[in-house]
């Protein structure tokens, strides 16, 4: 303590959410399009805002996400804290902050979160002061506001790691899905090609998918079989077999 007192920080805290969606073809991220203050241009940002006093971080992330996009009750996983003192200092960002924040010069430390949702289940609701919340294919996302690009990259990295360690990603698909769709999802997230036969073998051996009687209809090729995710078996598996990797 002692002589440090007057240096102590008095910052704001925000939560920013990286929401991944999958349209059965490419991976998308839910972004807010903001009007730049000067005029015609828009620029993109993650849905995020300051958190309230006495509000737990996870709760805040969910509230903020809901306010900006309409999404509700999403399981959000933390990416980490981003607190570079210069993270709000790009001119465009400063202009926006001045227009919208009570104390635009305050340092803001943000907690990044990420989650996966099915794009089908959900059509974004533009909120009051966001121009629009929209799904953007991940390869088309360039620069973002603040350090949001860094947060996005961090989230994607965590998502990849998680995917290689345990089968997640079912949230990204509709309830009934085909193995090809799941295959494409894995390729989209990991950004690599995966051998079709080996992928299927491995997936099925895990014994967490249930094949349905149903098949695709009206497609101009051999119809694909539908599967669904068996949550029960998945949780059984998590408890037994997933701790022992490596050794």
Partner DNA sequence: GACCTTTGTGTCAAAAATACACTTTGCGAA
Partner DNA sequence: TTCGCAAAGTGTATTTTTGACACAAAGGTC
Residues at the contact surface with DNA, assessed by CB under 7 A? 178-180, 195-198, 200-202, 205, 215, 217-225, 244, 246-247
Element (H, E) at 18: strand 12-22
Shortest Å, Cβ 26 to DNA: 14
77 phi/psi in degrees, rounded to 5? -110, 140
Whichever of 39 and 218 has its CB closer to DNA, that residue is 218
Shortest Å, Cβ 209 to a copy of itself: 16
12 strand-pairing partners:
108
Select the span of 4-12, 36-44, 134-142, 169-177 touching a copy of itself (CB under 8 A).
4-12
110 phi/psi in degrees, rounded to 5? -115, 150
Q: Restricting to residues 114-173, name those near a copy of itself by CB under 8 A.
A: 128-129, 161, 163-165
Whichever of 3 and 217 has its CB closer to DNA, that residue is 217
Shortest Å, Cβ 176 to DNA: 12
Whichever of 100 and 204 has its CB closer to DNA, that residue is 204
Shortest Å, Cβ 25 to DNA: 11
Our measurement of the distance from residue 37's CA atom to the centroid of its chain's CA atoms, rounded to an integer in Å, reads: 27
Contacts of 189 (CB under 8 A, 6+ apart): 20, 27, 156, 159, 160, 163, 169
Measured between alpha carbons, how far is residue 79 from residues 17, 19, 21, 58 in Å?
9, 12, 17, 12
| Residue 133 and residue 126 in contact, taking contact as beta carbons nearer than 8 Å | yes
What residues make contact with a copy of itself under the rule CB under 8 A? 1-2, 4-5, 7-13, 50-57, 78, 80-85, 100-102, 107, 109, 111, 128-129, 161, 163-165, 186, 190, 192, 194, 198-199, 202, 245-247
């Amino acid at each position: 303590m002692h002589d440090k007192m007057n240096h102590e920080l008095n910052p704001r805290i925000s939560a920013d959410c990286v929401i991944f969606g999958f349209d059965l073809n490419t991976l998308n991220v839910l972004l807010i399009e903001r009007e730049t203050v000067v005029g015609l241009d828009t620029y993109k940002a993650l849905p995020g805002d300051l958190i309230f006093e006495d509000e737990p971080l996870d709760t805040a992330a969910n509230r903020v996400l809901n306010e900006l996009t309409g999404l509700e009750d999403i399981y959000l996983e933390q990416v980490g804290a981003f607190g570079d003192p210069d993270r709000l200092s790009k001119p465009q960002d400063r202009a926006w902050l001045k227009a919208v924040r009570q104390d635009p010069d305050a340092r803001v430390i943000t907690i990044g979160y990420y989650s996966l949702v099915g794009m089908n289940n959900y059509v974004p609701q533009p909120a009051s002061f966001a121009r629009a919340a929209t799904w953007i294919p991940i390869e088309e996302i360039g620069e973002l506001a603040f350090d949001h690009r860094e947060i996005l990259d961090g989230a994607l990295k965590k998502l990849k790691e998680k995917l290689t360690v345990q089968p997640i990603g079912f949230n990204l698909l509709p309830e009934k899905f085909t193995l090809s769709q799941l295959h494409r999802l894995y390729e989209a997230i990991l950004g690599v090609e995966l051998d079709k036969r080996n992928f299927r073998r491995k997936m099925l051996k895990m014994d967490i998918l249930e094949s349905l009687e149903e098949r695709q209809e009206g497609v101009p090729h051999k119809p694909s079989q539908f599967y669904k995710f068996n949550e029960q078996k998945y949780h059984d598996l998590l408890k037994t077999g997933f701790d022992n990797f490596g050794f």
